[in-house]
Amino acid sequence: MPEQNITAAGARSAFIEGVIACGPTILGYWSIGFASGAIGAISGFSISEILLLSALLYAGSAQFLFYSLWTAGAGPSAVVLAVLLVNIRYLLMSSYLARFFSGASTMQKFVSGVLLTDETFGVATQFATGRGALPYRWMLGLNVAAYVNWIVANFMGALFAAVIPAGISHGLGFSLTAMFIGLLALNYFGSARKRLEIVAMVTSAAAVLATMRVLDVNVSVLVATALAATICATVLQIRERRGRLS
């Protein structure tokens, strides 16, 4: 019995630590979620529909895209394909984090992956870099805190949409970019491989600039991400092989 109590206490502690780790991104979730809920209401969606969309789609950029396409009269197939294209980057993120869940069950991996966002990915990556693993309870706390705040922020935005000018609601979308920049800086300064981080950033930026006039911007981002990840992974493998041979 004492051992079970210790195990339960450790699980609760890890969960709470995950919730606390989500703290730096909460303001971003609220500003973006508030804007998303407001834009959804302005676009003619009911509060229940906005809550359902925020809970099931759970993606800021995809929700903004959904509202704009639906309001413009795009068909369901076009909306679904566009959302899938925007969110396909999570395949790469989940694949990267999978190596830190070697001891987790299939269900634990599924739950951790299905609630993954750009922000939780950045926080989890920084946490796992110096530890080599991601405790499931910690990741659950991080994801649940982000998920709950996102839904509540959408709800509040939808409620107050009537008193918020549309220009201000759309302007809040810039906070998404600002939060990504902050997470990028946080990840860079906390990384032990700063040169490799610079290579990834330069490669991604160059790839986007080279392809954005030829490809859709979302495809350009995907290509840039895949290219930067491939180059960095190759460099790491070469370093590991050299370390084994020396």
Q: What is the pLDDT of residues 197-212, one digit of tens each?
A: 888 889 888 988 898 8
pLDDT for 244 = 61
Label residue 200 exposed, middle or buried (CB < 10 Å: 0-12, 13-18, 19+). buried
Q: Half-sphere exposure (CA, 13 Å, Cβ side) for 94?
A: 15
pLDDT score of 9 more than 60: no
Confidence of residue 173 (pLDDT cuts 50, 70, 90): low
* Helix and strand element counts for the chain (H, E): 13, 0
Please check whether residue 112 is in contact with residue 136, taking contact to mean a CB–CB distance below 8 angstroms.
yes
Q: Which of 40-49, 50-59, 75-84 has the lowest mean pLDDT?
A: 75-84
- Structure confidence by residue, pLDDT tens digits, 96-129: 888 888 778 889 888 888 899 888 998 898 888 7
Scored b (16 or more CB within 10 A) or e, 11-29 reads beebbeebbebbeebbebb
Contacts of 168 (CB under 8 A, 6+ apart): none
Query: What is the value of pTM for the model shown?
Result: 0.67
Report yes or no: 32 and 177 within 8 Å, Cβ to Cβ. no
- The mean per-residue pLDDT over the stretch 18-38 comes to 87
Average pLDDT of the chain is 80
Residue 58, Cα to own-chain centre: how many angstroms? Answer: 10
Element housing 67 (H / E): helix 60-71
Distance of CA 147 to the CA centre of its chain: 11
DSSP state for residue 57 in the 8-state scheme: T
Any residues with CB less than 8 A from the CB of 157 and at least 6 apart, and which? 33, 34, 35, 36, 37, 38, 39, 40, 41, 164, 169
Mean pLDDT of 152-166: 82
pLDDT at residue 140 greater than cutoff 80: yes
Residue 6: band (very low, low, confident or very high) from pLDDT cuts 50, 70, 90:
very low
Average pLDDT for 159-188:
66
Spell out the long-range contacts of 166-172 with Cβ–Cβ below 8 A and sequence spacing 24 or more: 166/39, 166/42, 169/35, 169/38, 169/39, 169/42, 170/35, 170/39, 171/35, 172/31, 172/32, 172/34, 172/35, 172/38
In angstroms, the Cα distances linking 95 to 33, 44, 110, 236 are 26, 37, 12, 16
pLDDT of residue 2: 47
